[in-house]
Amino acid sequence: MGLVVQKYGGSSVADAEGIKRVAKRIVEAKKNGNQVVAVVSAMGDTTDELIDLAEQVSPMPAGRELDMLLTAGERISMALLAMAIKNLGHEAQSFTGSQAGVITDSVHNKARIIDVTPGRIRTALDEGNIAIVAGFQGVSQDTKDITTLGRGGSDTTAVALAAALDAEVCEIYTDVDGVFTADPRVVKKARKIDWISFEDMLELASSGSKVLLHRCVEYARRYNIPIHVRSSFSSLPGTWVSSEPIEQGDKQVEQAIISGVAHDTSEAKITVVGVPDKPGEAASIFRTIADAEINIDMVVQNVSAASTGLTDISFTLPKTDGRKAIDALEKNKDRIGFDSLRYDDQIGKISLVGAGMKTNPGVTADFFTALSEAGVNIELISTSEIRISVVTRADDVPEAVRAVHTAFGLDSETDEAVVYGGTGR
Does 41 help bind ligand ASP (rule: CB under 6 A)?
Answer: yes
List b or e across 60-96, with b for residues whose CB sees 16 or more CB atoms inside 10 angstroms. Answer: ebebbebbbbbbebbbbbbebbbebbeeeebebbbbb
Does 227 help bind ligand ASP (rule: CB under 6 A)?
Answer: no
The interface with ligand ASP within residues 57-86 (CB under 6 A) comprises 73
74 annotated among ligand-binding-site residues: yes
Q: Which is nearer to Mg ion, 110 or 393 (CB)?
A: 110
Among positions 10, 18, 61, 421, the unique one binding ligand ASP when judged by CB under 6 A = 10
Helix ranges (DSSP H) in 296-386: 322-331, 333-336, 363-373
DSSP string, 181-219: SS-TTT-TT--B-SEEEHHHHHHHHHTT--SS-HHHHHH
- Could you tell me if 196 and 209 are in contact, meaning their C-beta atoms sit under 8 angstroms apart? no
Among positions 118, 153, 178, 238, the unique one binding ligand ASP when judged by CB under 6 A = 153
- Could you tell me if 412 and 190 are in contact, meaning their C-beta atoms sit under 8 angstroms apart? yes
Residue 261: beta bridge partners? Answer: 352
Does 151 help bind ligand ASP (rule: CB under 6 A)?
Answer: yes
CB of 136 to Mg ion, least distance (A): 8
The DSSP code for 354 is -
- Could you tell me if 236 and 416 are in contact, meaning their C-beta atoms sit under 8 angstroms apart? no
Does 6 help bind ligand ASP (rule: CB under 6 A)?
Answer: no
Does 174 help bind ligand ASP (rule: CB under 6 A)?
Answer: no
Alpha carbon 35 to its chain centroid, in Å, reads: 27
Q: Which is nearer to ligand ASP, 9 or 260 (CB)?
A: 9
Question: CA 176, 182, 188, 189 torsion: positive or negative?
Answer: negative
Element (H, E) at 269: strand 267-276
**Strand pairing category for 130-134 and 137-140:** unpaired
The interface with Mg ion within residues 38-67 (CB under 5 A) comprises 41, 47
CB of 275 to Mg ion, least distance (A): 41
Q: Which is nearer to ligand ASP, 47 or 93 (CB)?
A: 47
CB of 282 to Mg ion, least distance (A): 38
Phi and psi for 360 in degrees, rounded to 5?
A: -115, 105
Does 226 help bind Mg ion (rule: CB under 5 A)?
Answer: no
354 annotated among ligand-binding-site residues: no
Window 293-322: contact mask with ligand ASP (x via CB under 6 A): ------------------------------
Q: Which is nearer to Mg ion, 10 or 101 (CB)?
A: 10
CB of 149 to ligand ASP, least distance (A): 8
Does 154 help bind ligand ASP (rule: CB under 6 A)?
Answer: yes
Non-local CB neighbours of 306 within 8 Å, separated by 6+ positions: none
Does 18 help bind Mg ion (rule: CB under 5 A)?
Answer: no
Question: Interface with ligand ASP by CB under 6 A: which residues?
Answer: 9-10, 41-42, 47, 73, 135-136, 151-154, 425
